[in-house]
Structures are given as structure tokens and as C-alpha cells.
Amino acid sequence: MFDISIRDEFSSAHNLRGYKGKCEALHGHNWQVEVVVSSKVLDEIGMAIDFKKLKEVLSCVIKDLDHKYLNDLAYFKKVNPTSENIAKYIFDKANPLIKKESVVLKNVSIWESRDSKATYSR
């Protein structure tokens, strides 16, 4: 099995509903995002998927999050914009954009700081 991963980043603000503490107030993060895909096979030139294609997928998804107040987005009006839920949101948006039968989206990790990370996988 081959695992391929790429990283990107975006900046946004949010506040956590129902949280008692600092994070209930409006605040922002410079989020780091990692997408990991898996494949059992390589193509004729020895690639599971081109890094460029994977970067395009992630870029397409996070452009809707970059420099936004996440609580104002339709999805996060219903779902609390926690790191866990942001990772799931990115996974659900990226998954159908990966159009290579031999490649499966394994997980999405998101860091809200250099030492705080949440990962979502199915």
C-alpha cells in the first residue's frame, strides 16, 4: 500500500458555540491541512497520483474557507466549527474530487496550532 500526502494552509476565524472558555469568543487560526490518500497500485510511470492533482483538489476545497468567518458558512451554521468538524468538512468536499479509481482518500488532518491536530477518516 502506498500513502501519498500533501499539505496546504488557510486562515480563518471562528468561535465555538457551547464552549466555556477562551474559544467561545471570536478568534482566528492559520490552519495547516494534510490530505492523505492510499493506493495499492502505481500507474505506468510509477505514481499513485500526481502531487499536482492532489494539491489542486485541496486548493479547490480550502479556497471556500480561506479568510472567512467559518460560523457564517452554511455548513457551520448547523455544525460547530471545531477542528474535528473542519477536518470532516474538508474530507467530505475533497473525496468526490479525487477521480482516480485506484486512489482512496484515507484521512484529513488539520492543525489549529503547531501542536494541536485533529484527524478525520472513514
23 is catalytic: yes
Active-site option among 9, 23, 27, 60: 23
Active-site option among 9, 27, 60, 67: 67
67 is catalytic: yes
60 is catalytic: no
Tell me phi and psi for residue 96, to 5 degrees. -70, -15
Active-site option among 14, 29, 34, 112: 112
SS (H, E, C) the chain: CEEEEEEEEEEEEECCCCCCCHHHCCEEEEEEEEEEEEECCCCCCCCCCCHHHHHHHHHHHHCCCCCEEHHHCHHHHHCCCCHHHHHHHHHHHHHHHCCCCCEEEEEEEEEEECCEEEEECC
Active site residues: 23, 67, 112
